[in-house]
Amino acid sequence: MRNAALTLGVIGGIVGMIVGFFSYGYTQLIETFGEVPDLIEQVDNLQLIRTISLFAPLLAIAGGAMARARARLGGVLLLVSSAGMYWGFGFNFATMFPIAMCALGGVLALAAVQPDEA
């Protein structure tokens, strides 16, 4: 279960980084070139999107990397990353896989705290 948490966390973090790159880039594009009414508009909370774009994928990758050695801490980081992505980006077609992968990896890491029985 620790290996599954590691794999899900790293893959979820990489996919989350892709979503984060596009989200941060979108906000920067609108800030640089301006809005087009009813077509391209700036997000309501700019700093939230930029902060989540940076830190949520980092937490997912760090949590996945820690899942083998420190399962409890890795699981908590994965669940925080999943909640952060949901809070910042919402649940849509671009975020469903990183949110689900990080949440499942977090649950698996927390469930693997005790060693497997023979």
**17-66: pLDDT as tens digits:** 999 999 999 999 999 998 888 888 988 999 999 999 999 999 999 999 99
Euclidean distance between CA atoms 18 and 33, whole angstroms: 22
**Cα-flanking dihedrals φ and ψ of residue 44, to 5°?**
-70, -45
The percentage of residues in the chain with a pLDDT greater than 90, rounded to a whole number, is 81
| pTM for the predicted model, two decimal places | 0.90
- Residue 46's identity, in one-letter code, is L
86 pLDDT higher than 70: yes
pLDDT greater than 70 at residue 118: no
* Dist. CA 115–CA 109, nearest whole Å: 11
